[in-house]
Amino acid sequence: MVVVALDRDAGQFDGLSGWCGEQVPVTVVNTLVDVDRRRFNLAHELGHLLMRTPENLSEQLAHRIRGKRSLSPAEVAYRELGRKRKFPLALPN
């Protein structure tokens, strides 16, 4: 996958995705939004890339994928992160 970071004011733009030649997935994200929003945007765009659905369903399903707290099975997340957390997971900007 190719991920392109756009770091300029692009109005209402958060992210987009598509295929280059039907073989290479490409995602563009706006880095001027906060890191939590960026993470959600990347998950949302990944949802679009993974699904081959009619356009009217694609946006709804991508929103559902984006809303998931973790894209890994619960037991894997618990094993790696523990069942209780005192602080949120920090991601690099």
Per-residue model confidence (pLDDT) at position 26: 94
Position 88 in a domain = no
Per-residue model confidence (pLDDT) at position 82: 73
- Give pTM, 2 decimals: 0.62
Position 87 in a domain = no
Kindly write down the DSSP assignment for every residue of 27-83, as one continuous string: EEEETTS-HHHHHHHHHHHHHHHH----HHHHHHHHHHHHH-S-SS-HHHHHHHH-S
Rounded Cα–Cα distance for residues 58 and 10 (Å):
23
Position 12 in a domain = yes
Position 89 in a domain = no
pLDDT in tens, 30-69: 988 888 788 888 888 888 888 767 766 777 777 666 655 5
Number of domains making up the chain: 1
Range of the domain at 15: 2-81
Position 38 in a domain = yes
- The tokens describing 19, both together, are 């295929």
